[in-house]
Amino acid sequence: MAERNVDTVLIEGLAVETVVGVYDWEREVTQRLLVDLEMAWDIRIPGASDDVADALDYAAVSERVSQCLQAMKPQLIERAAEELAAMLQSEFGVSWLRLALHKPGAVPAARSVGVRIERGVRS
């Protein structure tokens, strides 16, 4: 039986300023979204080589997530989560991910609202 890879690369609290929301006023301002990512990645190779070329480049992932959200300007965070997950799997070869997208201040009585999704298969 093959060994199961349970290694995870984390990016937590990535702040992105973008247009997001369904109300007219929301389409005219930027708001902060916070992104938390867990991505399955076998860290044994970069752990042994100590070479960034063998690792999942979290700086590149963070930059791409920011670019994607800023270009998308979603009405719903549900759409943003789905598109981010698909992009990460396609462009970075991530087989499994858990993504949380938070919209702080969207509901005055709550610190944040958001969605959390999992996509792919953890090998």
User: Which residue range(s) make up the domain with 26?
Assistant: 8-120
* Active site (catalytic) residues: 103
pLDDT tens digits for 14-32? Answer: 999 999 999 999 999 999 9
Q: Is position 93 within any domain?
A: yes
Q: Is position 98 within any domain?
A: yes
pTM over 0.85: yes
Mean pLDDT of the chain: 94
Q: Is position 27 within any domain?
A: yes
Best CA proximity match to 64, nearest among 36, 98, 40, 92 = 92
Domain count, the chain: 1
Residue 123 pLDDT: 74
Coil, strand, or helix at residue 54? helix
Best CA proximity match to 69, nearest among 57, 50, 82 = 82
Residue 63 pLDDT: 98
Q: Is position 2 within any domain?
A: no
Identify the CATH number of the domain in which residue 109 sits.
3.30.1130.10
Task: Let me know: does 101 contact 31? Beta carbons within 8 Å.
Answer: no
Q: Is position 101 within any domain?
A: yes
d(CA 94, CA 14): 18
Q: Is position 1 within any domain?
A: no
Residue 28 pLDDT: 95
HSE of 28, CA atoms in CB hemisphere, 13 A: 3
Q: What share of the chain is helix, strand, coil (3-state, %, to 5)?
A: 35, 30, 30
d(CA 109, CA 18): 22
% of the chain surpassing 70 pLDDT: 96
Q: Is position 79 within any domain?
A: yes
Task: Let me know: does 78 contact 114? Beta carbons within 8 Å.
Answer: no
pLDDT tens digits for 58-96? Answer: 999 999 999 999 999 999 999 999 999 999 999 999 999
Q: Is position 3 within any domain?
A: no
